[in-house]
Structure 1
Amino acid sequence: MRDNLKGAALMMGAMATFTMNDAALKWLATDLPAFQVTFLRGCAATVLIVALSAAMGSLRRGIPRADRPWAIGRSAAEAGAFLPFLLALQHMPLANITAILAALPLSITAAGALFLGEPVGWRRWTAIAVGFIGVLLIMRPGTEGFDGWSLVAMLTVLLATLRDLLTRRLSRETPSLNVAAITAGFVTLLGLGLSLTEPWIRPDAAQAGMILAAAAFILGAYLCSVMAMRVGEVAVVTPFRYTSLVWALLLGWLVFGDWPRPLTLVGAALIAGTGLYTLWRETRVPMPRPVAPR
């Protein structure tokens, strides 16, 4: 499988597990404080990632000295993007902030072209734009709620873009599991600090099981997202972030009983269509032939 197809598959896996993690957190947040759940999930996820890294031998390899600043910077950007997202979420409608975050594929693709010199043709730009139209059809954001907190939400977009650009700087010698472990540690520490501002509630057996499930989901999400941004071209891999909205529709229907409206289904079809088109074009473009030795 060529790198672009690998990156697309990994990005779809990341979006699926991120959305499953979000659904688990939404279910837990009805009875437990959100920051407490974030911290407990982070503890379990960090243990799982470190154990998996040790079992696969990645832990012994560590992170090369030249890659350590990029790994730490990426993890700090991941944790940093989490805080303005929560702040904005408390002061503006969910549809509005989700629509703002849907600018990520555009911002990451543009940043990859500007700062990494990656080629972005008109077909890829068109596919990204069509996918964004699908996002707007799903979210249908109104003008109400777009105020100063919208700028806070945009900070999340900027930090998430920085996170993915820093991920691209990592060499192939750095194990993705180790990067995921550092990221989980940063987010867990942030959750611990924020959880001290709210009362704690002891989870029951069902809630504890869901926290462990969320930890498993976030493990897969961190690992897939790191690996996705290390293979393939940004312009090909990034549009598959839109698939998280399709997963959100399915989980909203199956878990929470939210039946999507017709325009929502049209938007989901546009998103799926752009993804399928990108995959189809990638299979039609010939792979570069290796240069014969002289």
Structure 2
Amino acid sequence: MHAPRHSPLAAFLVGTLGIALFSIMDAVMKGLVLAIGTYATLLWRSFVGVGLAGTLYGTLRSPWPARATMRLHVGRGVLTTLMGLLFFWGLGRVPLAQAIALAFIAPLIALYLASIWLHEKVGPRTVGASLLAFAGVVVIFIGQAQADLGREALLGSLAVLASAVCYAVNIILMRRQSLAAGPVEIAFYQNLTVAAVLLAAFPLVGAAPPPAAQWPWITLAALLSTLSLLLLSWAYARAEASYLSATEYTSFLWAAMFGWTIFGETLSPFTLAGAVLIVIGCVLAARKPEEASPALEASV
């Protein structure tokens, strides 16, 4: 499948919007995890997601995906399930901004995975901008490491780091998947795979239906997740993973705002200084889109 040619900068902006919606979903999901638990939150959200994405997918009347494409759908769906369980379990135990900051290791790993697996050229400006943004993450982590958050927060941080490694691979799979299928197809099969994997674990874990008051939030989380997935799939079909990975850093600004306004998580001077470095890095990454023109002929 060949995506129409668009400016990589347009893909960068669409990807940034996708990350913004994903960040809002993170805040909603943190509230749900604290209220009904990690597994139940992901399980019921995935069911709603299947309904939303399935409705869109059904209107397209698309042919059955090729075997290679279906392998990508299933593989990324399984990886997304593991990634989500680790991340949202950790998110319930550490401040929102700290969790996002720890997850920033993923785009840096993805830069080099893209070079190895997708044979993408990693331009010096993209690498430099990502390193500058990562320096901001280090500043934030140094400041937050001074706070004694206890054993639960330490375990949560380790879970987020493990999730970040999964997410680095996910970024690469997102690029390959986006070249092989349309955004609606990707959203449907990812939600379906996640729901199937979580449902398989139901006899061992179990999850009671959530209270009626939580269903609007579960629906909102599923809607935000689906919209974000559609936008990111569109963007990753039109620009390289090594270039778009820098958009991930913008999520920290949203996390800091929602952590403070919703969960009462304060920001330190280290956090603010790191956020400035992140913004500068993202701006620099977007200034030279020609370094990351999409390789639309990449093999799948």
- What TM-score results when the alignment is normalised by the length of structure 1? 0.81
In the TM superposition, residue 62 of structure 1 has moved relative to its aligned partner by 3.6
Question: Would the aligned equivalents of 1:11 and 1:240 in 2 still touch at CA under 8 Å?
Answer: yes
The code of the aligned residue for 2:182 comes to P
The code of the aligned residue for 1:276 comes to V
- For structure 1, the residue ranges without an aligned partner over 5 or more in a row are 289-294
Q: 1:192 pairs with 199, 203, 207, which one?
A: 199
User: Which segment drifts farther, 184-193 or 23-32?
Assistant: 184-193
- For structure 2, the residue ranges without an aligned partner over 5 or more in a row are 295-300
Instruction: Indicate the residue corresponding to 1:8 in structure 2.
Output: 12
Instruction: Indicate the residue corresponding to 2:297 in structure 1.
Output: none
In the TM superposition, residue 137 of structure 1 has moved relative to its aligned partner by 2.5
Matched, 1:215 2:219: no
For the residues of structure 1 that align with 2:210 and 2:98, how far apart are their CA atoms?
A: 33
CA RMSD of aligned residues (A): 3.3
The code of the aligned residue for 1:38 comes to L
For the residues of structure 2 that align with 1:193 and 1:253, how far apart are their CA atoms?
A: 37
The code of the aligned residue for 1:222 comes to L
Question: Would the aligned equivalents of 2:139 and 2:271 in 1 still touch at CA under 8 Å?
Answer: yes
Q: 1:139 pairs with 138, 141, 145, which one?
A: 141
For the residues of structure 1 that align with 2:247 and 2:261, how far apart are their CA atoms?
A: 22
In the TM superposition, residue 44 of structure 1 has moved relative to its aligned partner by 0.8
In the TM superposition, residue 95 of structure 1 has moved relative to its aligned partner by 7.5
Question: Would the aligned equivalents of 1:4 and 1:231 in 2 still touch at CA under 8 Å?
Answer: yes
Instruction: Indicate the residue corresponding to 1:241 in structure 2.
Output: 248
Secondary structure of the residue that 2:145 maps to in structure 1? coil
In the TM superposition, residue 68 of structure 1 has moved relative to its aligned partner by 1.9
The code of the aligned residue for 2:39 comes to F
For the residues of structure 2 that align with 1:286 and 1:46, how far apart are their CA atoms?
A: 33
For the residues of structure 2 that align with 1:250 and 1:86, how far apart are their CA atoms?
A: 18
User: Which segment drifts farther, 75-84 or 41-50?
Assistant: 75-84
Question: Would the aligned equivalents of 1:36 and 1:191 in 2 still touch at CA under 8 Å?
Answer: no
For the residues of structure 2 that align with 1:96 and 1:287, how far apart are their CA atoms?
A: 32
For the residues of structure 1 that align with 2:96 and 2:292, how far apart are their CA atoms?
A: 42
Shift in alpha-carbon separation, 1:269–1:33, aligned structure 2, 3 A: same
Question: Would the aligned equivalents of 1:23 and 1:251 in 2 still touch at CA under 8 Å?
Answer: yes
For the residues of structure 2 that align with 1:187 and 1:200, how far apart are their CA atoms?
A: 18
Q: 2:211 pairs with 194, 203, 206, which one?
A: 203
Question: Would the aligned equivalents of 2:30 and 2:91 in 1 still touch at CA under 8 Å?
Answer: no
Shift in alpha-carbon separation, 1:154–1:251, aligned structure 2, 3 A: closer
The code of the aligned residue for 1:8 comes to F
- What TM-score results when the alignment is normalised by the length of structure 2? 0.80
For the residues of structure 1 that align with 2:76 and 2:30, how far apart are their CA atoms?
A: 26
In the TM superposition, residue 103 of structure 1 has moved relative to its aligned partner by 0.9
Q: Give 1 or 2: higher helix fraction.
A: 2
Shift in alpha-carbon separation, 1:5–1:135, aligned structure 2, 3 A: same
User: Which segment drifts farther, 93-102 or 3-12?
Assistant: 93-102
Describe the superposition over 1:18-58 as per-residue Cα deviations: whole angstroms up to 9, x where unpaired. Answer: 21112112222333233212211111111001111223x1x
User: Which segment drifts farther, 248-257 or 174-183?
Assistant: 248-257
- 1:1-40 equivalences under 5 Å are 2-40=6-44
